[in-house]
Amino acid sequence: MSTAPSGRLALVTGASGYIGGRLVPELLASGYRVRCLARTPEKLRDHPWRERVEVVRGDVVSGEGLAEALADVDVAYYLVHSMSGGRDFASTDAQGARTFAGAAARSGTGRIVYLGGLAPEHVELSAHMASREEVGRILVEAPVPAVVLRAAVIIGSGSASFEMLRHLTERLPAMTTPRWVRSRVQPIAVRDVLRLLVRADELPEGTDRTFDIGGPEVLSYAEMIQRFASVAGLARRLIIPVPVLSPGLSSLWVGLITPVPPSVARPLVESLRHDAVAGEDDLARTLPDHGRIPFDEAVRLALRRIDEDRVDTRWSSAAWPSAPSDPLPTDPDWAGGSLYTDRRARYADASPESLWRVIEGIGGQRGWYSWPLAWAARGWIDLAVGGVGPRRGRRDPERLRVGDSLDFWRVEEIVPGELLRLRAEMRLPGPAWLELRVGRADGRTVYCQRALFHPRGLAGHLYWKAVTPFHGVVFGSMADNIAGRAEADERDAQRPSDGVTGGT
């Protein structure tokens, strides 16, 4: 990792976006002081690095706050562009670039760094790609030296282009696709993008030009789908290109199949109409490094948190992810893959200790405090398809520890008195967990229950939809009965024992 000269100040615009939110901690780790410009500073409050940066309220189009934000800045990262703007988004983007560049010149900023899109020359670009090219040109021609990095598909959880690839591949074992699936693309890992953005500040003083950046492989979009499927453990996808499907229809098709909004899908689809391959690799020669991450490894890193069968992702924790390719709590709802959740909560008129004893004693001879026939049937179905079945029981009738088998579950995490997390070992089209928690609210004990399922492929999505109608009976009654059992146990403990009184 590069190290910034002592005291060097970096300004990041677009810090609430995908790249900006991940660039800030990289700059901090490299020794920079960081200031963020935001139209709505409140959007940054959930970022773990918020207390380590200065935030200035401002707007690159109107110029509000730019003088304050750019004061004493050594390098300014311009990461603002429209993905789903209105009809005049291109003129708004251009005006923002001009206003920002002018303010940077007046403040004496040493360098501007911008991340644009990789597109071929001498072809008619989509409106969004043309706008990003125009922003890059404006910054390079402005008085302050600018470094413009142009990237194609960025591979990392939360990247819009990666999420579209993820959802299409996971949900469609067979697909008829527009001819843009044959387009050649040079994808790049988000870790490499962030590293190059930070290192762009190491270029010789006065460097004022555009650099193409990409990963080590050039693939068609269809090849990316097949390679993603292989890494994710999915069967090879059947892809049948069709000659006629406009970008508008393509974006509607993507919006129907995936949770990516059509307003976001359309610019992504339009950018794939042409090849997106680096025309040069001058940056690698100017700033020698140890190479770029191959596509398969970039996908593996983006999927790593789920592939390791760990549930501490953005869906269950607001903690800072351990790597730039992990999801952020502030990513859009459609980012980070699908995770289906069934949540239940019940007040229990019992002490937290009584509730915890019921939770820790679950399974085995005591059962699951739910519809016994449903649990038994699920266990026998699992046994019939080669799974562990329902009869493993538990090691100890009163105590659990991490790693214990518990019927067709495995204890993945236990915090005595607070949390029991079980990972399913039944045969399912995706990993599943069951969390049982003891909480407090309004001075009362609360039982919190959460079932989570990460579908793998279309079979996973269909499985969840098939079993959802039964959740009210299975999981609802389970929550009611666990809370009720704790209340009954507490009443029994408080009831005076029957005694025999003797007389003369």
How far apart are the C-alpha atoms of 429 and 453, rounded to whole Å? Answer: 9
The 3-state DSSP class for residue 411 equals strand
**CA pair distance 304, 293, nearest whole angstrom:** 15
- The torsion angles phi and psi of 489, rounded to 5 degrees, stand at -60, -40
Does the pLDDT at position 191 exceed 60? yes
Taking only the tens place, the pLDDT of each residue in 229-247 is 999 988 999 988 776 656 5
pTM value is 0.71
What does the pLDDT look like over 340-352, one tens digit per residue?
889 999 999 999 9
pLDDT at 178: 76
Which pLDDT belongs to residue 1? 47
CA atoms within 13 A on the CB side of 77: 31
Q: Which residue type is seen at 293?
A: I
Distance CA 323, CA 369 (A): 39
pLDDT given for residue 501 in this prediction: 42
pLDDT tens digits, 415-425: 999 999 999 88
Whole-angstrom distance, CA of residue 196 vs CA of residue 134: 22
Please report the domains of the chain, with CATH numbers, ordered by start residue: 9-307 (3.40.50.720), 340-493 (3.30.530.20)
The pLDDT confidence band at residue 291, using thresholds 50, 70 and 90, is confident
Cβ distance 29 to 10 under 8 Å?
A: no
Sheet holding 33-38, edge to edge: 54-57, 33-38, 9-13, 75-78, 111-117, 146-151, 209-212
Q: Residue 96: pLDDT band by 50, 70, 90 thresholds?
A: very high
Label residue 170 exposed, middle or buried (CB < 10 Å: 0-12, 13-18, 19+): buried
pLDDT of amino acid 473: 85
Q: Tell me how far the alpha carbon of residue 362 is from its chain's centroid.
A: 33
What pLDDT shows up at residue 407?
Answer: 86
Task: Decide which of 493 and 326 is more confident.
Answer: 493
Structure confidence at residue 318 (pLDDT) = 30
**pLDDT (tens digit per residue) in 294-303:** 999 999 998 8
* Residues 6+ away with beta carbon under 8 Å from 67: 103, 106, 107
Output DSSP code: residue 394: B
Rounded CA-CA distance 96/220 in Å is 34
Residue 391 binned pLDDT confidence (cut-offs 50, 70, 90): low
Give, as one character, the DSSP assignment of residue 321. P
